[in-house]
Structure 1
Amino acid sequence: MKGLQERNMGCHHLGSRGYAGKRSIWAKEDAEHESLGIPDPLAEFTIPQERDIIRARYHWDPVKKVLETDAVTTEFMRLLKEQLKIVAKSDSPSEVLARPKWDTPFNRALNILKGLTVDIRPSYGRVHDVGDGATWKKYYRETTEERKERRRLNEENIDKKVEIAIEKKSAETVKAAVAAAKEEIAASYSALQKNTLP
């Protein structure tokens, strides 16, 4: 049990009503902070799942007039920003479609924070920090057509990677053969010069 507790991400401030009860309160607080000119530290997190998990772990300090959080949440935010940058840089539309629905920057950052392999899917059952009893099947649901398209794109990506590897290998083979031929010609030429000189 202690190992499971260590995998939790910080302490949330949700109360008994969960995310559904807090969203309206957060909206009022955010409007109040905006009117006071206090910048929103979560402005860059627009996906509700990401924003909710982080916002649930922030609390308002009325004395300092700032939103505060713990070190674990700060680390999660850093990891999430990294994963969002990686996705923005590297993904082509076909790669995005080829991924399963659960393979998101949020889940990748959460896996890194928990010390798991980056691309491990979340466990079945309730979905991390969606609240309202959202089950895995409901939240990450894939239609038959979406699943077929994802598998087709995965096969295409694999075919492309194999093709690139073959081209690279054949280029290396040609390069090695040319280098060997040059060495052989140079050796023959030097041997021929030694034999013809008096």
Structure 2
Amino acid sequence: MIAVLAAGEQADVLAKFKHQIPVSYNDLNKLVLNECNDQLSGLFAVVATVLGLSKSGHDSVQYLNDALIAKSLHNDSNQGHRVDFSLDMVNSKRTIDWAKMLGSLMSFSLVVDEVDYDKLAFGVMDSLADYIANWIERMDETTGIKAVTLAGSDFANEVLADRICLRVGKNFPIVTNRKLELDGSNLSAGALFLKLRRR
């Protein structure tokens, strides 16, 4: 991850981050994300590490996620710093440009004299919720959406789920099931349901 950042557009901000906040940089270098590729939990673990929430440099992904959520809950207002979440295409699939997002986060950590990490942690959740809401609205324009289902363990994140519901709920009915996974047999059942409905 650091090698990708160092070889791309974020090289300068990464170098400054390494020089000015070496503890967080070293913790980021030790972070192991083997079991959470392409998952929000991995992204949030990286965010927590950048914000200095790692205690040992070898913390679990779950610990780092919980630390980030706790930090965002400490924000006294419903406002936070805007963090770049831009869309990227990888192997014909839409995904978050994580390098740009981390560069944005590191920039905030470097520029602000007294960083309000509560606001920054909240801003990550709020900005992601805004990105997801805009994405859903674009999909509605092309395919039509009758309702939005928020499912899976990532939506046990109280702050993220609340911010998404606040935005998406203005335009669509929302169904939530935080325990229902969107892969495996549930995805197959959904495909069968759609096939039957279209006949």
TM over 0.5: no
Q: Rg bigger for which structure?
A: 1
Q: TM-score, length-normalised on structure 2? A: 0.29
